Amino acid sequence: MSRLPTSTDVFVVGGGPAGLAAAIAARRRGFTVTLADSAVPPIDKACGEGIMPDGVRAARSLGIDLKGTGAQAFRGIRFCESGLGDRMQVEAPFPNGHGLGLRRTALHRLMVEHAAEAGVNLVWGARVTGIGPESVMADDRTIGARWIVGADGAHSAVRRWARLDACARDSRRFGFRRHYAVPAWSEFMEIHWGEACQLYITPVGPQEVCVVLISRNPKLRLDDALPQFPEVRHRLAAGAAASLVERGGVSASRRLKAVCRGSVALVGDASGSVDAITGEGLCLLFQHAVALAGALERSDLSLYQAEHRRLAKRPELMADLMLFLDSRGRVRRRTIRALASRPQLFARMLAMHVGELSTFDFLANSLSLGWRLVTL
User: What is the residue-wise DSSP string for 196-217?
Assistant: TEEEEEEEEETTEEEEEEEES-
CA angle, residues 301, 53, 202, in degrees to nearest 5: 115
Q: Region 359-370: what's the mean pLDDT?
A: 65
Q: Region 321-337: what's the mean pLDDT?
A: 88
The larger pLDDT score, comparing residue 249 to residue 242, is at: 249
pLDDT band at 367 (very low <50, low <70, confident <90, very high): low
What pLDDT is recorded for position 375?
Answer: 55
Domain definitions of the chain by residue range: 7-319, 328-375
96-105, 223-232, 237-246, 249-258: least confidently modelled range: 237-246
Summarised one tens digit per residue, pLDDT across range 21-41 is: 999 999 999 999 999 999 999
What pLDDT is recorded for position 83?
Answer: 58
Side-chain half-sphere CA neighbours of 321 within 13 A: 18
The answer to whether the beta carbons of residues 112 and 95 sit under 8 Å apart is no
Summarised one tens digit per residue, pLDDT across range 302-315 is: 999 999 999 999 99
Q: Region 237-264: what's the mean pLDDT?
A: 84
What pLDDT is recorded for position 60?
Answer: 95
The answer to whether the beta carbons of residues 279 and 190 sit under 8 Å apart is no
Name 254's bridge partners: 170, 273
What pLDDT is recorded for position 360?
Answer: 72
184-188, 280-284, 320-324: least confidently modelled range: 320-324
pLDDT band at 148 (very low <50, low <70, confident <90, very high): very high
What pLDDT is recorded for position 163?
Answer: 97
pLDDT value at 137 more than 50:
yes
Of 205-209, 224-228, 304-308, 356-360, give the range with the top mean pLDDT. 304-308
Q: Region 288-301: what's the mean pLDDT?
A: 98
CATH 3.50.50.60 fits 7-319, yes or no: yes
What pLDDT is recorded for position 366?
Answer: 64
What pLDDT is recorded for position 70?
Answer: 81
Greatest alpha-carbon span in the chain:
68
pLDDT value at 189 more than 90:
yes
The answer to whether the beta carbons of residues 83 and 16 sit under 8 Å apart is no
Summarised one tens digit per residue, pLDDT across range 75-84 is: 999 999 875 5
**Closest to 182 (Cα-Cα) out of 212, 211, 210, 208:** 208
Q: What is the mean pLDDT of the chain?
A: 91
pLDDT band at 193 (very low <50, low <70, confident <90, very high): very high
